[in-house]
Chains A and B, each alone.
Chain A
Amino acid sequence: MSINIIIADDHSMIRKGIKLILKTIFGQHDITEVGSCIDLMAQLRKKECTHLLLDIIFPDGTALEVIPNIINLCPDIKIMMFTMQSPVVYGYAFKQYGINYYLPKSLDEEQTIEHLRKFLDNVPLLEGGQPLLPQNPFSSLSPRELEVLHYILNSHQTKTISDLLNLRMSTISTLKKRIFEKTGTENLTQLLELANLYDINF
């Protein structure tokens, strides 16, 4: 089966840069760019895709919210997370969805190319089984908690988060409480400081 790639990222410069690397270094030409969750889902419904480069934070939501739908729609799709976020924080959550590829945007050109090569050649990056990554206060958050974390850091109220994620307010409150517990913080200011310390973007 021929390779056909979607680059999902809200920054067009980053999409173009990766697209050019895929073209010049890997000779790939079937590449589609999308900039939001809605466009990504629409594109996946329109045309099958073998490889997906997926950012985490979009203007209309986070990857965590759409990954179950993507896997439902295209069970064979190969996904590589492509993000500023640290794999230490998000790696485990994505592994739960069977995603073993992670391309941090902070990598230099050579490393970026190396990661893309492994992704296209089906060489696993994140080893299965034992975690090879160090831990940080955010590592133990579940995918749901990470979703909520993103909105809390953006100073959204419980009501808004419950509307955005289609979850009950009581569920959001419980998730919030657990996030504060797991990270050992007491309020938003402390959580923000900790997020900053561990380079969590939101």
Chain B
Amino acid sequence: MIFFSVDETRINIITLSLLILFSAIAIYFIIGYTVKKLIVRQKILKLLIERRTRELQQKNEELEKNSIIKTRLISIISHDLVSPLKYIHFTAKNLLENKHSLDQDTVDEMMTEVMNSSKELELISTNILNWIKYQNEHRRLIKEEFDLNAIVAQIFSIFKGIAKQKKIELINEFDTGMILYQYMEPIRIVLYNLTLNALNFTEKGRITISGGKTNKGILIKVADEGIGMSNEQIANILSEQFIVSSINVDKRKGNGLGYLIIKDLLKLVDAKFVIKSKKNIGTKVTILLPV
């Protein structure tokens, strides 16, 4: 009897201690689990914050770059647009007022300048417009069918006068019927700028636009026989920090707006491009458009 009771008490104690032990273990695990969950949640939060911070930083950098470009554009507009326009006006007025006393050579010299300068102003204005148009990131892009041969022909017709003056031959190697289903406007603007660059940096020779369909996409090559670029200059153009500048390594005129537009638009249409150039031999820019 006594034994039994002792035994029962012992069992009770054992059960109790086991119960306490189990509860302790359970509590330990529950706390551990909760703490772990909290830590994990904290880590996720931290990662999220980090990601957001990075995004914000990136946005900030972009905005900063954009604001630098905008400032630069204001400078280009006042320096390269406003004052030449003012002097076109002065010159035309002066010519009109003195038409009876001026010799023919002077008149010709002035009229040629007015003709060339107004063309140049048209080209710069077009490009500034091009850049502004594509600044809106939510701008909807539409793919459409177009004939590459016709696009190139249209671009060449804009530059016909300048090319003729400089005795540069413009060659369009695309056959008619080279139909693309692509974002036409950005591609047109890119080709416009590549041709303009080629013209600005070529003294004589040919500018050729060629290419075709490959299994990786559509290749378009713009090649000139101009003064070319050094590897350093190419690296500078390709760098993310590339900013339009009025001074160019070559001490040649140019405001850098062209490549800024080219890079922005090619990114927009998901195309890749390669620049190959040799000093005094020429430059070839190859674009690969995704199919």
Q: Name B75's contact: one of A11, A12, A20, A201 (CB within 8 Å).
A: A201
Contact with B along A52-63 (1 / 0, CB 8 A): 000001011100
A13 to B67, CA, bound (A): 30
B62 to chain A, nearest CB (A): 13
Q: Name B106's contact: one of A20, A21, A151, A164 (CB within 8 Å).
A: A20
Interface members, chain A 160-202 (any B CB < 8 Å): 164, 188-189, 192-193, 195-196, 199, 201-202
Contact yes or no, A59 B114, CB < 8 A: no
Contact yes or no, A154 B84, CB < 8 A: no
Count A-side interface residues using an 8 Å CB cutoff: 37
A146 to B90, CA, bound (A): 31
Contact with A along B245-256 (1 / 0, CB 8 A): 111100111100
Which chain B residues border A36 with CB–CB below 8 Å?
Answer: 251
Given contacts A20-B94, A24-B102, A36-B251, contact A11 B84 (CB under 8 A): yes
Given contacts A14-B83, A24-B102, contact A59 B247 (CB under 8 A): yes
Check: A118 CB closer than 8 A to any chain B CB. no
Check: B7 CB closer than 8 A to any chain A CB. no
Check: A105 CB closer than 8 A to any chain B CB. yes
Q: Name B83's contact: one of A23, A60, A105, A156 (CB within 8 Å).
A: A105
Most buried by A among B68, B71, B74, B109: B71
Q: Name B247's contact: one of A105, A154, A188, A201 (CB within 8 Å).
A: A154
Given contacts A13-B87, A16-B109, A192-B67, contact A155 B245 (CB under 8 A): yes
Which chain A residues border B71 with CB–CB below 8 Å?
Answer: 192-193, 195-196
Which chain B residues border A16 with CB–CB below 8 Å?
Answer: 87, 91, 109-110, 113
Check: B78 CB closer than 8 A to any chain A CB. yes
Query: Which partner residue on chain B sits nearest A17 by CB separation?
Result: B87
Contact yes or no, B113 A13, CB < 8 A: yes
Count B-side interface residues using an 8 Å CB cutoff: 40
Interface members, chain A 77-101 (any B CB < 8 Å): 84
Interface members, chain A 1-31 (any B CB < 8 Å): 10-14, 16-18, 20-21, 23-24
Contact yes or no, A151 B87, CB < 8 A: no
A112 to chain B, nearest CB (A): 8
A57 to B84, CA, bound (A): 15
Which chain B residues border A18 with CB–CB below 8 Å?
Answer: 87
Check: B79 CB closer than 8 A to any chain A CB. yes
Contact yes or no, B75 A21, CB < 8 A: no
Residues in B lying within 8 Å of A, measured CB to CB? 64, 67-68, 71, 74-75, 78-80, 83-84, 86-88, 90-91, 93-95, 97-98, 101-102, 106, 109-110, 113-114, 116-117, 241, 243, 245-248, 251-254
Report 21 cross-chain contacts, Cβ distance below 8 Å, ordered by A residue.
Answer: A10-B253, A14-B84, A16-B91, A20-B94, A20-B95, A20-B106, A20-B110, A23-B102, A23-B106, A24-B98, A24-B102, A57-B79, A59-B252, A84-B78, A105-B83, A106-B83, A155-B68, A155-B243, A156-B247, A188-B68, A202-B75
Residues in A lying within 8 Å of B, measured CB to CB? 10-14, 16-18, 20-21, 23-24, 36, 38, 57, 59-61, 84, 105-106, 109, 112, 151, 154-156, 164, 188-189, 192-193, 195-196, 199, 201-202
Further 6 A-B residue pairs, CB within 8 A, beyond A17-B94, A155-B68: A14-B83, A16-B87, A17-B90, A151-B247, A189-B67, A201-B75
